[in-house]
């Protein structure tokens, strides 16, 4: 039976990316060595690093005064590194979900934090609007896609202070104006590669302004000076990121990917709205293209476990929603084919015929 992987992360990768990575694990480009056993300072892996950085720059149209880094520790380590390097007195945060809350918690250890707006009042089912970014803040931090609650920010905000974005789960899913951001970061394991590598896109001019001592490994300038090789980088995940970006470029880049993602989301949201058994959890103007969350309609809640078992028996994987929301979550990242979305819709329709009153 074909499996359809809707897991929120680590998540689906394109089949050819997995196959090409598997080949490189056995033998990288015919050199007789695995990509896992190369010296990270040798020419063969340096070529991998150089191409991955170049593809980042090309596909996102990153300006010259930005650096692309590959680090460890996941986005969760960045929650601390950002204020360590950038927070002098006061920072501003937009609170839109669990990961934003975690970032806020870490920042409070380094200075004052102002939450400019929050959607906690409705269990984070919408993106706040009409808020004011304080002009005296050291930076303004946002989480562009909220995997648990299924909301997404599609606007590149005009910020009077350096704008920092956690784009762990929607990077490369749509065009962005990188010049609007001082820093973009994220874990690779949702839309780019396997777990184990974190990408950071950072502008030159925001660094070197805090007085505190920054431990060597937590200082962005360390990794800029050493080309992400101050210590041994996560070589295999970086290789897979390169293969993913090659695949993305071949498909037409982020503009083409955005159209595909919009089509997939429109199909599934359309079925959720039509089907008498289900209802979406995110506000219509905030709905994510990456994580589509839905629950059983009132009167059908007792069928939640049965639907999950039914869908699983038909090859649907990773549909269970996060415990803070319940219901179901279909993660439709870049590598998710339209055919898998249609397969889920078919299962939903079959279940509806069995149980609709």
Spell out the residues 6+ positions from residue 17 whose beta carbon is closer than 8 angstroms to its own.
Answer: 240, 243, 244, 247, 335
In 3D space, the residue among 270, 281, 274, 256 whose CA is nearest the CA of residue 334 turns out to be 256
Q: How would residue 159 be classed by pLDDT, with cut points 50, 70 and 90?
A: very high
DSSP 8-state code for residue 297? P
Q: Is residue 4 part of a domain?
A: no
96 and 233 Cβ atoms separated by less than 8 Å? no
Give pLDDT, residue 1. 87
- The residue range of the domain holding 268 is 253-355
Q: Are residues 228 and 263 in the same domain?
A: no
The pLDDT tens digits for 102-130 are: 999 999 999 999 999 999 999 999 999 99
Clarify whether 247 is annotated catalytic: no
Average pLDDT over residues 141-162: 98
How many CB atoms sit inside 10 A of residue 56's CB?
23
What is the sign of the dihedral through the CA atoms of 281, 316, 242 and 200? Answer: positive
Annotated catalytic residue, options 138, 166, 170, 219: 166
Q: Are residues 27 and 139 in the same domain?
A: yes
Average pLDDT over residues 24-52: 97
Q: Are residues 246 and 349 in the same domain?
A: no
Q: Are residues 71 and 115 in the same domain?
A: yes
The DSSP code sequence of 96-138 is -SHHHHHHHHHHTTTSEEEEEEE-GGGTT-S---S----TT-S
Annotated catalytic residue, options 99, 138, 170, 219: 99
Average pLDDT over residues 20-41: 97
Write down the mean pLDDT value for the chain.
Answer: 97
Clarify whether 166 is annotated catalytic: yes
Give pLDDT, residue 357. 81
Q: Is residue 7 part of a domain?
A: no
Give pLDDT, residue 324. 85
Clarify whether 190 is annotated catalytic: yes
| Domain tally, the chain | 2
Annotated catalytic residue, options 138, 170, 190, 219: 190
């Amino acid at each position: 039976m074909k499996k359809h992987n809707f897991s929120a992360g680590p998540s689906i990768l394109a089949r050819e990316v997995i196959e090409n990575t598997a080949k490189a694990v056995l033998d990288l480009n015919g050199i007789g060595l695995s990509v896992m056993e190369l010296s990270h300072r040798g020419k063969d892996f340096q070529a991998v690093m150089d191409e991955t950085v170049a593809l980042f720059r090309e596909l996102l149209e990153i300006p010259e005064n930005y650096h692309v880094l590959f680090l460890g520790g996941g986005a969760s380590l960045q929650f601390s590194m950002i204020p360590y390097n950038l927070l002098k007195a006061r920072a501003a945060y937009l609170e839109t979900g669990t990961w934003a809350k975690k970032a806020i918690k870490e920042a409070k250890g380094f200075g004052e934090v102002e939450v400019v707006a929050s959607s906690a009042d409705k269990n984070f089912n919408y993106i706040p609007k009409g808020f004011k970014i304080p002009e005296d803040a050291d930076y303004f931090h946002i989480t562009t896609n909220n995997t648990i609650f299924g909301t997404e920010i599609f606007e590149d905000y005009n910020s009077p202070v350096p704008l920092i974005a956690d784009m762990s789960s929607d990077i490369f899913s749509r065009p962005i104006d990188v010049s609007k951001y001082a820093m973009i970061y994220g874990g690779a394991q949702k839309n780019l590669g396997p777990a184990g590598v974190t990408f950071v896109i950072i502008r030159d001019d925001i660094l070197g302004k805090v007085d505190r001592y920054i431990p060597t490994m937590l200082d962005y300038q360390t990794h800029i000076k050493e080309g992400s090789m101050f210590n041994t980088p996560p070589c295999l995940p970086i290789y897979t990121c390169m293969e993913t970006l090659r695949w993305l470029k071949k498909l037409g880049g982020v503009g083409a990917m955005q159209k595909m993602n919009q089509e997939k989301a429109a199909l599934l949201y359309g079925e959720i709205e039509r089907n008498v058994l289900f209802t979406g959890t995110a506000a219509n103007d905030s709905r994510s293209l990456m994580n589509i969350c839905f629950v059983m309609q009132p009167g059908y809640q007792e069928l939640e476990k049965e639907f999950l078992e039914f869908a699983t028996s038909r090859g649907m994987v990773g549909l269970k929603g996060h415990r803070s929301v319940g219901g179901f979550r279909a993660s439709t990242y870049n590598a998710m084919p339209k055919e898998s979305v249609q397969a889920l819709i078919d299962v939903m329709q079959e279940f509806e015929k069995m149980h609709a009153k």
